Amino acid sequence: MKPRQPIIITILIVLGLISGAFFMFTQSSEFFSSAIFWVTLVLGGVVVFINNSLNKLIDIKKYNMLTEEEKEEYKRLLKIPYFQRLKQSAVEKQGDKDEKDMIIDHGFDGILELDNALPKWWLGLFYFGVAYCIIYLTSYAFTEFAHPYAEYDKEVAQANIEIEEYWKNAPKITIDNAEYNPDNIAEGKQLFETTCVSCHKEGGAGGIGPNLTDDYWINIKEKGLFKNVFYMVYNGSENNPAMRAFGKDGEIPGRDIEKIAAYVYYINQDIPNIAGGAAPQGEKATWNDAR
């Protein structure tokens, strides 16, 4: 017969398991202020105490059935502090005397098999693993704990907030500070394809809206081509409401107009007069610095 683990240790383990489970399910330490947590804790404590009292009764019965020698051994073990006893039983080998009790009765050729108890540390780890598994799997399946999709959504939402914040504080791009930058052409092309292609056709060939690849322009509002495109996309056309004021109406921010204008500048200057483009409209423009 061996002395049992002190009740305070059991209480600490139960406290740890309950807190761990609550943390996994709720994903924050706010559960400390919730009534459910404290009720669970009290119930857990009551169960531990009931278990402890039952164990005591069992131990008394068992103790009375021991021989004098075994009683002495039990008393000796009781005197060893708990953690020292734990270490002994966890890592130290059993003595020869213990081994005699463990022999399984099917030895052969003088080789005997012992029915060794599994090491305590191993068993402890195993039970912890089982408990952890159950808590983890249930919280994974039924809550948002450690869920890659939920975590991804959360991070994307946070990143979007940060991007919005960044653009709120970033300097606004207007017709005055917009600049042509060839690095913007690729992104400008994508934006053009989502917003402008319906009227100006693929590559700016012209349809409802005029051909953007020729030298003829209905609206000449700025001296440079790049700024003229920026102006048109920002303010729209006075003659035709189909060409709406994308910038002024807040539909496209200045930083995107800068990119779109870079693309239109590129198709007009670097690959002019697209094959099969719409007939020229307006007058021949001569841009001063072409930007």
Site of interaction with ligand HEC (CB under 6 A): 192, 195-196, 198-200, 208-210, 212, 217-219, 229, 232-233, 237, 239-240, 242-243, 246, 260, 264, 281-282
Provide the minimum distance between the beta carbon of 218 and ligand HEC in the complex, in angstroms, as a whole number.
4
Burial of 178 (0-12, 13-18, 19+ CB in 10 A): buried
**Given the complex with ligand HEC, which of 21 and 252 has the nearer CB atom?**
252
Q: Are 59 and 2 in contact (CB under 8 A)?
A: no
Residue 269 corresponds to which tokens in the numbers above?
């200057």
Provide the minimum distance between the beta carbon of 139 and ligand HEC in the complex, in angstroms, as a whole number.
49
Provide the minimum distance between the beta carbon of 188 and ligand HEC in the complex, in angstroms, as a whole number.
9
How many other C-beta atoms can be found within 10 angstroms of the C-beta atom of residue 254?
17
Dist CA 59 CA 2 (whole Å): 9
**Given the complex with ligand HEC, which of 139 and 204 has the nearer CB atom?**
204
Phi, psi of 250 (to 5 degrees): 80, 10
Dist CA 89 CA 139 (whole Å): 34
Provide the minimum distance between the beta carbon of 21 and ligand HEC in the complex, in angstroms, as a whole number.
55
**Given the complex with ligand HEC, which of 84 and 288 has the nearer CB atom?**
288
**Given the complex with ligand HEC, which of 21 and 233 has the nearer CB atom?**
233
Provide the minimum distance between the beta carbon of 160 and ligand HEC in the complex, in angstroms, as a whole number.
23
Nearest of 253, 250, 215 to residue 261 by alpha carbon: 253
**Given the complex with ligand HEC, which of 15 and 290 has the nearer CB atom?**
290
**Given the complex with ligand HEC, which of 145 and 204 has the nearer CB atom?**
204
Dist CA 137 CA 220 (whole Å): 67
**Given the complex with ligand HEC, which of 21 and 261 has the nearer CB atom?**
261
Provide the minimum distance between the beta carbon of 249 and ligand HEC in the complex, in angstroms, as a whole number.
11
Provide the minimum distance between the beta carbon of 174 and ligand HEC in the complex, in angstroms, as a whole number.
16
**Given the complex with ligand HEC, which of 26 and 195 has the nearer CB atom?**
195
Provide the minimum distance between the beta carbon of 274 and ligand HEC in the complex, in angstroms, as a whole number.
14
Phi, psi of 116 (to 5 degrees): -70, 145
